[in-house]
Amino acid sequence: VKLLELLPECAIVRTSWLFDTGGKCFPDTIIKIAATRPTIDVVNDQRGSPTFALDLANAIIQLCRKNAAGIIHATNRGDCTWFDFAKEILAKTGSQTIIRPTTSEKFVRPAERPKYSVLSPASLEKYGIPMATWQDALSRYLKERST
């Protein structure tokens, strides 16, 4: 039985590529690796929407206040590849580490990752809830991380 069949008034919030200062995440990993290596290879054939956990939490609060229901996609605006994301992280931190694009086939992970995991913002926009761009979210994450 599906949750929405049991509780049609519930809201299921989907997100992707979550990052935050409270634990291990992609930006933190890239920063740490860049501090110890002159070059980094990062996958350039997977696309998604990086999402700052703080922005997601704020969106969920607003959805609750609006009695939202159904399946809602909540991610920061825009999309990129992991390579693009890493490149932006290094640029914003002033790192001199060289970043090179690679393919998923050359960077084997324990679980297969989807090539395209961008979620449409339409379900969130329906409630009039704006999300910042992932680049803006990354800047705020880096500022929070450094304090």
Residue with tokens 């800047």: 139
Identify any residues that bridge with 48 across adjacent strands, giving them in sequence order.
Answer: 80
pLDDT of residue 1: 56
112 vs 135, higher pLDDT: 135
* Residues 129 and 63 sit within 8 Å (Cβ to Cβ): yes
Q: How many CB atoms lie within 10 A of CB 89?
A: 24
Tokens found for residue 110: 């324990």
Tokens found for residue 52: 């700052």
What's at 67, amino acid-wise? N
pLDDT of residue 114: 86
Give dist(CA 81, CA 84) in Å, integer.
Answer: 5
Give dist(CA 94, CA 64) in Å, integer.
Answer: 39
pLDDT digits (tens, 9 = 90+) for 33-76: 999 999 999 999 999 999 999 999 999 999 999 999 999 999 99
Total-model pTM? 0.93
pLDDT digits (tens, 9 = 90+) for 76-107: 999 999 999 999 999 999 999 999 999 998 87
